[in-house]
């Protein structure tokens, strides 16, 4: 790893536009809601640090919030990040109800997969810049009922309206991991 020390609080997002729109998520029907456009500066870098992010909040109460870059700095390892998204779901259990969570889904530097989803027992293997989020990490089954086999997935909880933190999590899980060539699983 480089000598750089990444910190989530160095990511600054400024809302530039808010508009009603419709978008497609996977093979689901069109989703309608509000798309927020943010101009983002990643203060962890002195140059090539200007991004633009879309945060898509569906009108439907139980819908997924999508966070994705629309403009990516011209850095080779970040090519294609504009086609990636981090999805935030609503927590439905206990004291987390009303908040959102995303799976700790790190980019795969090997290129074999698009992402690697961390399990609860792998929390200590995450990059150091995730340590400040440790108090907000839980198993998925602690925040939402699950019918699948992902109840042991590690999730990170954020307030439902904290777009700044959602964008910073995208950069931490995707851009910084790729830039540092962090290998989560060998």
pLDDT tens per residue, range 75-129: 999 999 999 999 999 999 989 999 999 999 999 888 778 889 999 999 999 999 9
Residue 21 belongs to some domain of the structure: yes
91: three-class secondary structure by DSSP: coil
pLDDT of residue 62: 82
Mean pLDDT on 24-45: 91
pLDDT surpassing 70 at residue 3: no
Give the pLDDT score at 26. Answer: 76
Q: 54-58 — which CB contacts under 8 Å span 24+ positions? A: 55/163, 55/166, 55/167, 56/21, 56/23, 56/31, 57/33, 58/31, 58/32, 58/33
Residue 103 domain-assigned?
A: yes
State residue 110's pLDDT score. Answer: 80
Question: What SS3 class is residue 3?
Answer: coil
Which domain range does residue 74 map to? Answer: 8-179
- C-alpha 31: how far from its chain's center? 20
Judge whether 184 lies within some domain: no
Give which of 73, 55, 69, 50 is closest to 15, Cα–Cα.
55
In a domain, 167, yes or no: yes
pLDDT at 25: 80
Q: What is the mean pLDDT of residues 58-86?
A: 93
pLDDT tens-digit series, residues 5-23: 899 999 999 999 999 999 9
Please give the mean pLDDT across all residues of the chain. Answer: 91
pTM of the model: 0.93
pLDDT tens across 129-183, in order?
999 999 999 999 999 988 888 888 999 999 999 999 999 999 999 999 999 989 8
Count how many domains the chain has. 1
CA distance 13 to 16: 9
The pLDDT value recorded for residue 2 is 56
pLDDT at position 35, please?
97
Q: Is the pLDDT of residue 1 over 60?
A: no
186 in a domain, yes or no? no
Q: What is the pLDDT of residue 140?
A: 94
Residue 87 β-bridge partners: 66
Shortest CA distance to 86 belongs to which of 11, 147, 25, 14? 25
């Amino acid at each position: 790893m480089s000598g750089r020390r990444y910190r989530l609080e160095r990511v600054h997002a400024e809302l530039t536009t808010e508009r009603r729109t419709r978008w497609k998520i996977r093979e689901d029907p069109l989703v309608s809601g509000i798309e927020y456009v943010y101009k983002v500066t990643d203060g962890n870098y002195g140059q090539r640090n200007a991004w633009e992010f879309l945060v898509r909040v569906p009108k439907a109460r139980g819908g997924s919030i999508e966070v994705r870059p629309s403009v990516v700095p011209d850095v080779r390892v970040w090519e294609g990040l504009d086609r990636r998204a981090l999805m935030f779901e609503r927590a439905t259990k206990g004291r987390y109800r009303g908040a959102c969570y995303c799976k700790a889904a790190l980019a795969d530097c090997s290129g074999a997969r698009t992402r690697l989803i961390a399990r609860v027992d792998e929390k200590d293997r995450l990059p150091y810049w995730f340590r400040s989020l440790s108090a907000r990490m839980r198993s998925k089954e602690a925040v939402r009922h699950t019918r699948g086999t992902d109840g042991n997935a590690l999730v990170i909880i954020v307030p439902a309206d904290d777009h700044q933190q959602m964008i910073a999590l995208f950069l931490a899980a995707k851009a910084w991991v790729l830039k540092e060539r962090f290998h989560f699983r060998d």
